[in-house]
Chain A
């Protein structure tokens, strides 16, 4: 099963590089980051054994880390994105 995840990760990398060569307008960055998020999720769930974790608290800590990161990025970018409105 680890090998399935491994090949999915390599596939995702190839897909990211390929998608970067296409002109997707404003969607190039979201596509690249979306694929990266899928890859990171696969690594976390299956390579880091979060999917089968027997301790619920582990999953909570993972979600908490992501939540606070999103808070940092989301609120900061919202601040800058909503400046210079006249």
Chain B
């Protein structure tokens, strides 16, 4: 890990060595190239994450198409207000992440630390609301398994018709796995940002080198994007009926 708090050339290098910013690693020709490489690496990882979540989205779309009415009934039972609030919370957290990156770029240590803390707080608010939603599902016996129960739930827009509990259980299986995987990514994100906060506190970041903040930010934005798609798909099926 390069400590960019010093600007002197390393003493232990040989003479055939042009003076350079200590943040520049030796296998890169220029700092811009090094920054691009870091960003590219994170984007390739995010591409794999797109496929990771993509598989779940695909399964969801198949079952939603098959059991639309049952899925609509199940979707009605999850709290749209909490889902929408969580969406707003994550959008705010993405804003604080961009502010953190900008603060690192412009040597604003206080703003950087405040932004990182705010991002983490918003992430914890998101997880808290998610926890409340999960608890509601446990209480209502909507958790797939032995005690699952979804009797006499009307299908929206089809008076007199009731949802098939087995099909509704499919919705809840997908709901818990997709939001659970997303929440796991949030928790990992909180861990990453804790590390960023510690590094920022120690003054490790500078306008010349703040790569972890940038690529940690990329990860957080990706988790936000996943939720931006999860919200309408899970919470807003046939809400008008």
The residues of A with any CB-CB pair to B shorter than 8 Å are: 2-3, 6, 9-10, 13, 16-17, 20-24, 28-29, 32-33, 35-36, 39-40, 43-44, 47-49, 53-55, 57-58, 61-62, 64-66, 68-69, 72-73, 76-77, 80-81
B57 near A73 with CB under 8 A, answer yes
Among A23, A47, A76, which residue has its beta carbon within 8 angstroms of that of B98?
A: A47
B54 near A21 with CB under 8 A, answer no
Top-7 shortest CB links A-B: A65-B47, A32-B232, A55-B36, A20-B236, A20-B239, A65-B50, A23-B240
Q: Is B80 an interface residue (CB 8 A)?
A: yes
Q: What are 26 A-to-B residue pairs whose CB atoms are below 8 Å?
A: A2-B99, A6-B91, A6-B95, A10-B91, A17-B84, A20-B236, A20-B240, A33-B229, A35-B232, A36-B231, A40-B228, A43-B94, A43-B228, A47-B221, A48-B217, A54-B32, A54-B36, A61-B40, A62-B47, A65-B46, A65-B47, A66-B50, A68-B50, A68-B54, A72-B54, A73-B58
Closest partner residue, chain A, to B53 (CB atom): A69
CA distance A44 to B222 in the complex (A): 8
In the complex, how many angstroms separate the beta carbon of A62 from the nearest chain B beta carbon? 6
CA distance A73 to B64 in the complex (A): 13
CA distance A21 to B62 in the complex (A): 24
Contacts of B91 in A (CB 8 A): 6, 9-10, 13
A72 near B225 with CB under 8 A, answer no
Question: Is chain A's binding surface mostly helix, strand, loop or mixed?
Answer: helix
A73 near B54 with CB under 8 A, answer yes
In the complex, how many angstroms separate the beta carbon of B142 from the nearest chain A beta carbon? 21
Pick the most buried of A13, A24, A76: most chain B CB atoms within 10 A of its CB: A13
Closest partner residue, chain A, to B229 (CB atom): A36
Q: Is B139 an interface residue (CB 8 A)?
A: no
Q: Is B176 an interface residue (CB 8 A)?
A: no
A43-B221 contact in complex given A53-B39, A58-B40, C-beta closer than 8 Å: yes
Contacts of A23 in B (CB 8 A): 240-241
A58-B58 contact in complex given A2-B98, A48-B218, C-beta closer than 8 Å: no
Contacts of A6 in B (CB 8 A): 91-92, 94-95
Among A16, A32, A39, A61, which residue has its beta carbon within 8 angstroms of that of B43?
A: A61
Task: Tell me the B25-52 residues at the A interface (CB within 8 Å).
Answer: 32, 36, 39-40, 43-44, 46-47, 50-51
Besides the contacts A33-B233, A47-B221, what 6 more A-B pairs have beta carbons closer than 8 Å?
Answer: A16-B232, A17-B80, A36-B228, A43-B225, A62-B43, A65-B46
A77 near B40 with CB under 8 A, answer no
CA distance A6 to B224 in the complex (A): 13
Q: Is B211 an interface residue (CB 8 A)?
A: no
CA distance A63 to B87 in the complex (A): 25
In the complex, how many angstroms separate the beta carbon of B128 from the nearest chain A beta carbon? 19
* Interface membership of chain B positions 176-211, coded 1 if the CB is closer than 8 angstroms to chain A and 0 otherwise: 000000000000000000000000000000000000
A69-B51 contact in complex given A10-B88, A47-B94, C-beta closer than 8 Å: yes
In the complex, how many angstroms separate the beta carbon of A57 from the nearest chain B beta carbon? 6
CA distance A33 to B64 in the complex (A): 14
